A = this chain, B = another copy of it.
């Protein structure tokens, strides 16, 4: 299954890819010449590269997707400049009458503490209904304007300016693994708009089986990591200085060597 439905009319479909975890290893090994060669160390090497942000070997893997999404999402997506994109053109083609209408459980009030986000507060049923009606009324009028112009043979590049930002568009999108993981880091984030997170999760599901070790390393060292500022580190160090010996001496998912380096960091930076 290489196609995942997203929102009401959208999807992400994996069209092709070049390379996998093995391609990351192969590229990294050229840097080390004769240095490391044991095949069993591949997983360790990938995790080492991710942990230390040696990003270039991850560029050696490429993915190509066919995606369909609302234009307001495409506008966030396109800001990732390292991608190659071919998008349907509203200058050439008549765009289908497909516009995103949120499900009621994804409508939300403006957040008060996060100026760009959604509140968790419940919305009464009548406000939900009114909102959906507003959206649908707007879309109907937009489609009426668009098709009225098309019927009069007005140029498509003009007619389409009446279509709403929720209009679906589609594109081919190619990205290398390093930049794709960076895309996921930003777009899987809780502060990303819900609608783009849906697409980021679909992409994640599609690439995970192809680069399982790289993805796991990304999950451990990037997605679930946390970065403390210099000041925060000084608080942590001040507090833990006398208590380092109380920290566990082993951990199921962390190597002895990493555990030592972890303590050294807490000791003195």
Interface residues, chain A, CB within 8 Å of chain B?
Answer: 15-19, 23, 26-28, 30-35, 51, 56-57, 59-60, 62, 64, 66, 70-72, 74-75, 78-79, 81-82, 84-95, 100, 102, 107-111, 115-119, 123, 127, 130-131, 134-135, 137-142, 144-146, 148-149, 152-158, 160-167, 170-172, 174, 176, 193, 219-221, 223-236, 238-239, 243, 246-248, 251, 253-254, 258, 262, 265, 269
Contact = CB atoms under 8 A, between A and B. Distances in A.
A117 B144 CA distance: 22
B265 A226 contact: yes
Contacts of A88: 30-33
Nearest to A243: B239
A141 B135 contact: no
Given A60-B84, A220-B231, A225-B230, 12 more contacts: A19-B64, A28-B86, A31-B92, A60-B174, A72-B90, A78-B78, A118-B155, A130-B148, A134-B144, A164-B164, A174-B176, A225-B233
A23 B234 CA distance: 31
A25 to B, nearest CB: 11
A35 B93 contact: yes
Nearest to A78: B78
